[in-house]
Structure 1
Amino acid sequence: MKLKSLSLRTRIFIAMILLVLVASIIIALVAIYQYNEETKDYHKQRLQRKERAIQRHLGNVIKETSYPVLTEKIPLIFKDELNKIADIHSLQINLYDLEGTLLKSSKAILAQDTLHHCLRAEILNAVSNTADHRFVDKHEENGEAYLSSYTYITDRKFKPLAILNLPYLERDDFLARELNEFLTRLSFVYLFVLIMAIVISFWLSRYITKSLKAISDKINATRLEKRNEKIVIDDTSEEISTLVNSYNSMIDELEESAVKLATSEREQAWREMAKQVAHEIKNPLTPMRLTVQNFQRKFDPKDSTIISKVDEYSKTLIQQIDTMSSIASAFSTFAKMPAQQNETLNVVNIVKLALDIFNEEYIIFTRDAEEIIAKFDRTQLIRVVTNLVKNAIQAISKIDTPQIIVHVSELDNNVIITVTDNGSGVPEENKDKVFEPKFTTKSSGMGLGLAMVKNIVETYNGSISFESQKDKGTMFKVVFPKA
Structure 2
Amino acid sequence: MRRYLAYGNKKIANEQIVHYLTKYYFKNYWDAYNINVQVLPITDQNNNRYNKLISDGSVKLYNTNYFYCSNQKDNPFDYLGVFSYPNPTDTTMLYVELYAKERINYGYSDAVLDKSERARLNISSAKYEKEVLQWQWGKFEYPNLYSFPKTMKNGIASVCVDKHKHYFFSFPNDTHIVISEERPNDFVAYILFWTYIFSIYLAIVFVGKFVFMRIQKIQTINSLFTKIRIQFIWYIVASLAVVFCISILYINEQNFSSQRKHQMTITKYIKFELERFIVDNDSLPSKTAINFFLHDLSKLYETDIHLYNASGELISTSVPYIFAKGFASKLINPNPYFGTNNHELIQTEYIGSFKYLASYLPVIDTDGRIVAYVCLPSFLSYKKLASNLFNLLAIFLIIYFVFIVLSSIIGVFLSKRLSRPIKTIEEKLRAVKLGKQNEKIDYQAAPDDEIGMLIVQYNQMVDQLAESAELLAQSERELAWREMAQQIAHEIKNPLTPMKLTIQQLQRAKNMDKETFDNYFEKTAGVLIEQIDNLSSIASEFSNFARMPAAKLVRINIVDKLITVVNLFKNNYEETDIVYLSTIEKAFIKADKEQMTQLFNNLLKNAIQSIPPDRDGKIRIELDITQNQVVISVSDNGTGIPPAVQAKLFTPNFTTKSSGMGLGLSIVKSIVTTSHGEISFTTQEGEGTKFIVKFPLVK
After TM superposition, list the pairs within 5 Å mapping 1:38-437 onto structure 2.
38-51=254-267, 75=285, 83=293, 90=301, 93-97=305-309, 101-104=313-316, 107=318, 113-114=320-321, 116=323, 120=329, 124=333, 136=347, 147-150=357-360, 163-168=373-378, 193-236=403-446, 238-300=449-511, 303-338=514-549, 340=551, 345-359=560-574, 361-369=575-583, 380-397=595-612, 400-412=614-626, 416-437=631-652
How many positions carry a matched residue from both structures? 468
Partner deviation per Cα, 1:103-147 (whole Å, 9 max, x = no partner)? 245x5x8xxx5353685278645556767776745579xxx9964
Q: Using the alignment, how far apart are the partners of 2:632 and 2:275 within structure 1? A: 120
Aligned to 1:26: 242
Give 1:323 shift: 1.7
Select the structure that is richer in helix: 1
Residue 37 in structure 1 maps to residue 247 in structure 2 = no
Structure with more of its chain in strand, by fraction:
2
Flag the structure with more relative contact order, 1 or 2, with Cα contacts below 8 A and sequence separation at least 6: 1
Verify the 8 A CA contact 2:634 2:692 in the aligned structure 1. Answer: yes
The 1:287–1:189 alpha-carbon spacing in structure 2 relative to 1, beyond 3 Å, is closer
CA root-mean-square deviation: 4.6
In 2: Cα distance, 1:362 partner to 1:198 partner: 71
List per-residue Cα deviations over 1:45-93 (Å, max 9, x = no partner). 33345546766787899899977xxxxxx55699679949985994665
Q: Distance in 2 between matches of 1:419 and 1:81?
A: 118
> Conserved in 1, the CA contact under 8 Å of 2:638 and 2:686?
yes
- TM superposition shift of 1:479: 3.8
Partner residue, 2:669? 454
User: Any conservation in 1 of the 2:509–2:517 contact (CA below 8 Å)?
Assistant: no
Contact 2:314 2:330 in 1 (8 A): no
> By how many angstroms is 1:446 displaced?
2.6
Quote the Cα distance in structure 2 between the aligned partners of 1:383 and 1:358: 17
Which stretch shifts more, 368-377 or 6-15? 368-377
> What are the superposed Cα offsets for residues 245-286 of structure 1, whole Å, 9 maximum, x if unpaired?
222222222222222222222222222222211111111111
1:65 and 1:418 mapped to 2: Cα distance?
124
Paired residues of 2:639 and 2:686 also in contact (CA < 8 A): yes
The answer on whether the counterparts of 2:610 and 2:640 sit within 8 Å (CA) in structure 1 is yes
The one-letter code matched in structure 1 to 2:539 is A
**TM-score with structure 1 length normalisation?**
0.77
Relative distance call for 1:302 and 1:396 in structure 2 (3 A) is closer
Q: State how far apart, in whole Å, the 1-side matches of 2:304 and 2:356 are.
A: 12
Q: TM-score, normalised by structure 2?
A: 0.56
1:427 CA drift (Å): 1.2
Go from structure 1 to structure 2 and tell me whether the alpha carbon gap of 1:439 and 1:121 turns closer, same or farther (over 3 Å shift): same
Aligned to 2:186: none
CA distance in 2, matches of 1:115, 1:464: 100
Distance 2:239 2:397 in 1: 13
SS of structure 1 residue aligned to 2:690: strand
Return the alpha-carbon distance in structure 1 between the equivalents of residues 674 and 379 of structure 2. 97
The structure-2 alpha-carbon separation of the partners of 1:347 and 1:10, relative to structure 1 and needing over 3 Å to count, comes to same
For 1:467, the equivalent position in structure 2 comes to: 682
Query: Structure 1 residues 378 and 24, CA, compared in 2 at 3 Å: closer, same or farther?
Result: closer
The residue that corresponds to 1:70 in the other structure is none
Q: CA deviation at 1:430?
A: 0.9
Mapped contact 2:364–2:370 kept (Cα < 8 A): yes
How much identity, in percent, do the aligned residues show?
Answer: 35
2: distance between equivalents of 1:60 and 1:371?
118
Q: Secondary structure at the match of 2:635?
A: strand
Distance 1:163 1:254 in 2: 95
The C-alpha deviation readout for 1:313-356, integer Å capped at 9, x for no partner, is 44433332222111111111121224547676453133211343
Deviation at 1:97, TM superposition (A): 4.5
